[in-house]
């Protein structure tokens, strides 16, 4: 028994020794893993420090190049054509009344001829020199905006607060919708295309870097049409530019918000908080006007009520006899969503509004092509204008 106990004790001591060795091995492995992790973290931190240093070095180099280019010119770079007031007076026959083509909240507009080109001259104020430095800054931003659906700023006369734009032969969308001057009605196909073009130009502004440009005064009067009825947004940035050059201009203000009554985002009007969806509200009211050719006051309410009562067809512009009711109804529903009172309830311009407007535009273009190649080979005047416009646009 003594021998047996002795053997058992020896076996127990051997097992304990094995357990001790196993534990030491495990601890050693843990220590090794910790060392590897620490080394990896130190390497990552070193790489981050190197990346930050490289980014800082590049930024400093870019800033140095910009500073050197500015100092080389001896003044800030002017990206727009500067006209003298004498050149503009000569090109507009001294702002003759017969040359006047419009009167907006920002000032009168005259048709002129500068550099052998027809231009539109917008006079913000005759004493605009009081905000000259801010005027330079804002006009430089506007002159950099290039898009097929944006009216092109050709130049300016900073001393007198005068802007020179490309001339748009068909005038404003507002004038054409309400047929001022007894012009022919715009076909539904062309209205669908105009809707998509306005939204395309607006999306371009909203995607501007480093900060989006919010128009703040989007309305049919600020959408102009060229000879081929291609629509272009005008007066971009003027809601921000005008206070710098003419602090006492109040036409374009409603309470503290810049814009035009009936088109102003109600949430912006109440809170003063401006965002890209403020323009989406204005777009919604404009789209309803494209369908109805009615004044904007209470328009969203009247259209919504007509839909609920099953009388939507009665709201459509009667000057257009061949409305495609299903597509017009779809556009009306989208327009009402854009004109929701709460900003968070309005759809996203790029992801939700544009796909539907592009679908309607394509449908309108297909309709024009089918009209053109119909067996009778005849089109109405409005359809001919629309097809010509689409063909030129393509």
Q: Is 278 a domain residue? A: yes
CATH of the domain at 93: 3.30.200.20
- pLDDT band for 130, please (50, 70, 90 cuts): very low
In this structure, the answer to whether residues 151 and 138 fall within a common structural domain is yes
CATH code of the domain in which 229 resides:
1.10.510.10
217 included as an active-site residue: yes
* Marked catalytic residue, from 217, 235, 265, 317: 217
User: 135-147 pLDDT, tens per residue?
Assistant: 776 787 778 888 9
pLDDT digits 0-9 by tens, 242-265: 544 433 333 333 334 556 788 999
- The 3-state secondary structure of the chain, one letter per residue: CHHHHHHHHHHHHHHHHHHHHHHHHHHHHHHHHHHHHHHHHHHHHHHHHHHHHHHHHHHHHHHHHHHHHHHHHCCCCCCCEECCHHHHHHHCCCCCHHHEEEEECCEEEEEEEECCEEEEEEECCCCHHHHHHHHHHHHHHHHCCCCCCECCEEEEEHHHCEEEEECCCCEEHHHHHCCCCCCCCCCHHHHHHHHHHHHHHHHHHHCCCCCCCCCCCCCHHHEEECCCCCEEECCCCHHHHHHHHCCCCCCCEECCEECCCCCCCHHHHHHCCCCHHHHHHHHHHHHHHHHHCCCCCCHHHHHHHHHHCCCHHHHCCCCCCCCCHHHHHHHHHHHHHHCCCCHHHCCCHHHHHHHHHHHHHHHHHHHHHHHHCCCCCCCCHHHHHHHHHHHHHC
Q: What's the pLDDT score for residue 66?
A: 66
| Residue 239 and residue 281 share a domain | yes
Q: Based on the structure, what is the number of domains in the chain?
A: 2
Q: Which of 166, 193, 225 is the last residue of a domain?
A: 166
Q: How confident is the model at residue 210 (pLDDT cuts 50, 70, 90)?
A: confident
- Provide the whole-model pTM: 0.70
Pair (289, 357) in one structural domain: yes
Domain boundary among 146, 166, 186: 166
Judge if 203 and 248 occupy the same domain. Answer: yes
Residue 250 has what pLDDT? 30
Q: Residue 174: which of 299, 293, 319, 292 has the closest Cα?
A: 293
Residues 338 and 274 in one domain: yes
| Domain span holding position 128 | 81-166
Mean pLDDT (the chain, rounded): 82
Given a cut of 80, whether residue 239 has pLDDT beyond it is no
Co-location of 133 and 230 in the same domain? no
Considering the domain architecture, whether residues 247 and 324 belong to the same structural domain is answered as yes
Residue 32 belongs to some domain of the structure: no
């Amino acid at each position: 028994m003594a021998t047996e106990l002795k053997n058992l004790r020896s076996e127990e001591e051997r097992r304990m020794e094995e357990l001790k060795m196993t534990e030491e091995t495990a601890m050693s492995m843990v220590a090794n893993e910790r060392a590897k992790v620490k080394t990896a973290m130190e390497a990552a931190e070193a790489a981050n420090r190197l990346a930050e240093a490289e980014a800082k070095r590049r930024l400093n180099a870019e800033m140095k190049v910009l500073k050197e280019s500015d100092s080389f010119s001896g003044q800030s770079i002017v990206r727009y054509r500067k006209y003298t007031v004498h050149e503009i007076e000569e090109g507009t026959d001294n702002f003759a009344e017969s040359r006047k083509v419009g009167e907006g909240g920002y000032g009168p507009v005259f048709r002129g001829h500068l550099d052998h080109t027809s231009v539109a001259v917008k006079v913000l104020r005759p004493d605009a020199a009081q905000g000259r430095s801010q005027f330079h800054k804002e006009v430089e931003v506007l002159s950099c905006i290039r898009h097929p659906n944006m009216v092109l700023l050709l130049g300016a006369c900073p001393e007198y607060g005068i802007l020179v734009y490309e001339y748009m032969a068909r005038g404003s969308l507002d004038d054409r919708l309400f047929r001022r001057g007894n012009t022919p009605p715009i076909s539904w196909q062309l209205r669908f295309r105009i809707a998509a073009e306005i939204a395309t130009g607006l999306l371009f502004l909203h995607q501007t870097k480093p900060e989006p440009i919010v128009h703040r005064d989007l309305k049919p009067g600020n959408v102009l049409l060229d000879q081929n009825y291609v629509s272009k947004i005008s007066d971009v940035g003027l809601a921000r530019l005008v206070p710098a050059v003419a602090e006492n201009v109040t036409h374009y203000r409603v309470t503290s918000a810049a814009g035009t009554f009936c088109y102003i985002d109600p949430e912006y009007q109440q809170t003063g908080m401006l965002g890209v969806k403020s323009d989406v509200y204005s777009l919604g009211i404009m789209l309803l006007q494209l369908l109805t050719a009615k004044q904007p006051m209470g328009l969203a309410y009247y259209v919504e009520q007509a839909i609920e009562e099953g009388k939507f067809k009665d709201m459509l512009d009667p000057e257009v006899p061949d409305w495609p009711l299903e597509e017009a109804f779809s556009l009306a529903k989208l327009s009402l969503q854009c004109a929701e009172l709460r900003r968070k309830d309005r759809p996203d311009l790029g992801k939700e509004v544009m796909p539907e407007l592009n679908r309607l535009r394509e449908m309108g273009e297909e309709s024009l092509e089918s009209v053109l190649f119909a067996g009778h080979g005849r089109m109405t005047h409005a359809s001919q204008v629309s097809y010509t416009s689409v063909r030129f646009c393509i």
